[in-house]
Amino acid sequence: MQVFIDAIPFLVDAWRLILDPTVLLYLLGGVVMGLCIGVFPGLGGIAGLSLILPFMFGLDPIYGLALMIGMVAVVPTSDTFASVLMGIPGSSASQATVLDGFPMAKKGQAARALSAAFSASLFGGLVGAFFLTFFILIARPIVLEFKSPELLMVSIFGLSMVGILAGRIALKGFVAAGLGMLVASIGEGPFNGELRMSSYDYPYLVDGLKLVIVGLGIFAIPEIVALLRKDQAIADRAPLGAGWLHGVKDWWQNKWLSMRCALIGVVVGVIPGLGGSVVDWIAYGHTVQTTKDKSKFGQGEVRGVVGPESSNNAKEGGGLVPTLLFGIPGSGSMAIFIGALSLLGSGELEVGQSMLKNNLNYTYSIVWMLALANIFGTILCIGLSGQIAKITSIRFALIAPFIFMIIAFAAFQSGQNLMDLVALFAIGLLGILMRRFDWSRPAFLIGFVLANPVENYANNANQIAGIRFRESMEAGLAYIFSPIVLTLILITVISVVVGLRQSKSIMAEGAVTSGKKRAPMVFLMAVMGFIIYALVNLASIPDYAFVDAVFPLFVASVSFVAGLILFVQMMLKPEGDAVFADRAAEAEEQEMRFKLWPTLGWFAGLLLATSLVGFILALAGFLVLFFHFRAQLKPFQTVILSVAGVVFMCGMAWLLNRDFPPGLLQHYVTLPWPLT
């Protein structure tokens, strides 16, 4: 108790620091900048912080902190726009928001979904700050309890959410998650650097695929293509008025859910090494499990928005604990934050234990500025949501090229390589097929996100446990089966059992009718083909580096068996069974104005043209042709929109100081920026 009383003067001093008008101005400046950057999918805190980093040198610490915190705090709030309005997971913080937020937008309830999300975000942020004010004082020993076995169990718990999101045919969800894990294993093995499912002839694959690309490809591209084919607006009916008050009410009705999810967010955020990748899935899973009528999930259940959004801002607060107390960044943006901290003032702020001892006032200012920035950000976002939600009533053919442009730009930023776009397209194709045959895309993404943590922690835990067991049996058992691990195992088992029982009624991606046998069979066989390739490839890893193969080999074997059972089921079951889900058989699908392949052809064309003449020239051509032929606009409108698109893209890249993918042309001729 004494600890808390001793901290009060620092808390008071922190508020004295924050309530300086100049500080508030800096904070607001950061919030506005963060909002502008955060609305773009794939560009988040890292891009924003890199932008302001040059100005940090020698800046008064509290001003610099205000600017950075303002920016970091609103990214998980502002990326909700992309998740809800376009079905694009803007960052790992908003993966789960897509599941119910986007269907709401389709039903004309975008403003409602947005304001429910923002209210939940705000509340989560405040709960997080309040909790941290006390928790940060006693956090150190608790964080140190999380060793490799505990971290492994948290990752597995996150993975167990696959059980809830697996869809109608649990086996399919299972294989989808396995597929996600295998895709995540592509590239250099983490321990001996052996190549898995890649070769030095294709250097791009050696580094593995990035979350930005997989997230955009698996969720965004299928939705964009489907919407484009319908050639209507995102919302299939007139948007419901302003709707934002409704959203705030939705949040209020679910305030206890919001509270629980916020606490989940802080607690999981505090655990170093996991960052935010599992938080929103765990929150979504919790939301589903605690909702009586589960049938609406995936079709626009507002609780599915409130839950994850409450957790993702709270997580930012939790993530400060490992960042500030241990100097271990929980995410990329936190890593830059640490770097920038040492540039401030004369370098008196240094992450580590001194943040509690000498600089507790600054630590508290950080915590509460985060909360304050959340308030500013939420007010701005709710204010804007009514207007921005109107985007859902515009004919989609007019928006799609811009969305695709931004996605392509964001994807390119992850590796600065033309292959980023190829990978985006390939994953997009997989996403389209998974959507068509009702294979759970959330399960795939969970598998992808959690494969690396599970593999690393399993390996560490295994190695250290081996050493402890050689010491003595008790030491080994005490290491593996700590109270935290046992508790987590219990929670995971309950969650899986309950989840599997419920998953049949949860269609995370809406109902799908069943069709003929052939197409679903062919897709399954293609998936099996990849799994078999993975098995063969992994088995060829030499013995001395076998540790690089163990995890993916295990995943591939299990997926292979599951796939085989699925195959047998498909052989035995009659046509029309749920196992043959195929969107192509839906009545709505038949009414689509455009066929799948020509629609995809437009994007393939952009890709091809980029490889020839570079991104900006290709984009200019793409926009003109698309607006003219596909959207059938008048020449005047075509020119205006195309110019606007190119200018916007160049402005964005100039501001963030980024380049565009070059093509063959740039190989021979030196062109001025932005054509380089």
Partner 1 sequence: MNLKTTLRTAGVALGFVAAAALPANAADLSGKTVEWTIPFSETGGSAKWANFFAPLLSEHMAGNPNVVVKFMPGAGSTKGANWFQKQKHVDGTTMFGSSGSTQFPYLLGDPRVRYEYKDWIPVMASGTGGVAYLNPEDAKMFDGTANNLKGKTFVYGNQGATRLDLIPALAWDMLGMNVEHVMGIKGRGDGRKMFESGEATIDYQTSSSYLKNVAPMVEEGKAVPMMTWGSLAANGDIVRDPTFPDIPTFKEVCDATDGCETSGEAWDAWKAFFIAGFPAQKLAFLPGDTPQDVVNAYTAAFADVQARSDFAKISAKRLGKYPMYVGDDAQAALNGALQISPDAKAYVVGWLKDKFGVSLN
Binders in 525-544 for partner 1, by CB under 8 A: 542, 544
Report, in Å, the least distance between residue 46 CB and partner 1. 6
> Residue 670 interacts with partner 1 (CB under 8 A)?
yes
Closer residue to partner 1, CB minimum distance, 328 or 578: 328
* Out of 193, 241, 383, 598, the residue judged to bind partner 1 by CB under 8 A: 193
Which helix or strand (DSSP H or E) is residue 195 part of? strand 195-196
Taking CB under 8 A as the criterion, the residue among 24, 464, 500, 596 binding partner 1 is: 464
Among 146, 409, 622, 627, binds partner 1 (CB under 8 A): 146
Out of 13, 29, 137, 147, which residue is the one contacting partner 1 (CB under 8 A)? 147
Q: Is 342 in the site for partner 1 (CB under 8 A)?
A: yes
Amino acid, single-letter form, for residue 133: T
**Cβ nearer to partner 1, comparing 330 with 386:** 330
Whether the CB-CB separation of 276 and 45 falls below 8 Å is answered with: no
CB atoms within 10 A of CB 250: 21
Interacting residue with partner 1 among 158, 285, 318, 329 (CB under 8 A): 329
Q: At closest approach, how far in Å is the CB of 143 from partner 1?
A: 8
- Residue 16 host element (H or E): helix 2-18
Question: Between 201 and 293, whose beta carbon lies closer to partner 1?
Answer: 201
Stretch in the footprint of partner 1 (CB under 8 A) among 160-168, 217-225, 328-336, 441-449: 328-336
- Residues 37-96 interacting with partner 1 (rule: CB under 8 A): 46, 50, 53-54, 57
Question: Number of residues in contact with partner 1, rule: CB under 8 A?
Answer: 55
Pair 120, 247: CB distance under 8 Å: no
Instruction: Report the site for partner 1 in 225-254 (rule: CB under 8 A).
Output: none
For the record, the structure tokens of 251 come out as 């949040």
The answer to whether 339 contacts partner 1 (rule: CB under 8 A) is yes
Q: Using the 8-state DSSP alphabet, how is residue 633 labeled?
A: -
Does 346 bind partner 1 (CB under 8 A)? Our answer is yes
Say whether residue 651 binds partner 1 (CB under 8 A).
no
Could you say whether residue 336 binds partner 1 (CB under 8 A)? yes
CA atoms within 13 A on the CB side of 443: 28
Write out the binding residues for partner 1, residues 546-575 only, by CB under 8 A.
547
- Half-sphere exposure of residue 208, counting CA atoms within 13 Å on the CB side? 22
| Concatenated DSSP letters of 379-399 | HHHHHHHHHHGGGGGSBHHHH
Q: Does 545 bind partner 1 (CB under 8 A)?
A: yes
Shortest distance, position 65 Cβ to partner 1, whole Å = 17
The yes or no reply on residue 383 touching partner 1 (CB under 8 A) is no
351 binds partner 1 (CB under 8 A): yes
Amino acid symbol at 475: A
> Is 332 among the residues that bind partner 1 (CB under 8 A)?
yes
**Closer CB to partner 1, 256 or 544, in the complex:** 544
CA 306 to CA 283: how far, in whole Å? 9
Tell me the C-alpha to C-alpha distance, in Å, between residue 602 and each of 380, 594, 605, 606, 662: 36, 12, 5, 6, 19
Contact 92, 277 (CB under 8 A): yes
Nearest to 108 by CA among 82, 89, 85: 85
What gap in Å lies between CA 326 and CA 353, rounded to an integer? 7
Return the H-helix or E-strand segment holding 188.
strand 187-188
- Is residue 605 a contact residue for partner 1 (CB under 8 A)? no
* From 245-253, 347-355, 436-444, 527-535, span contacting partner 1 (CB under 8 A): 347-355
Q: Binding residue for partner 1 (CB under 8 A) from 259, 343, 384, 650?
A: 343
User: Angle at Cα 269 formed by Cα 177 and Cα 488, nearest 5°?
Assistant: 60
Tokens of 257: 């859910």
Quote the CA–CA distance of 426 and 417 in Å, as a whole number: 15
Instruction: Tell whether residue 456 is a contact of partner 1 (CB under 8 A).
Output: yes
Q: Between 250 and 279, how does the x/- string for binding to partner 1 read (CB under 8 A)?
A: ----------------------xx------
Report in angstroms the alpha-carbon separations of 595 from 431, 440, 583, 585.
17, 23, 13, 14
Residue 460 lies near partner 1 (rule: CB under 8 A): yes
Q: Is 592 in the site for partner 1 (CB under 8 A)?
A: no
Question: Cα(569)–Cα(573) distance, rounded to whole angstroms?
Answer: 6
Distance CA 132, CA 274 (A): 18
Largest CA distance in the chain: 80
Report the interface residues with partner 1, using CB under 8 A: 46, 50, 53-54, 57, 144-148, 188, 190-193, 200, 203, 206-207, 272-273, 326-329, 332, 335-336, 339-340, 342-343, 346-347, 350-354, 415-416, 456, 459-460, 463-464, 467, 470-471, 542, 544-545, 547, 657, 670
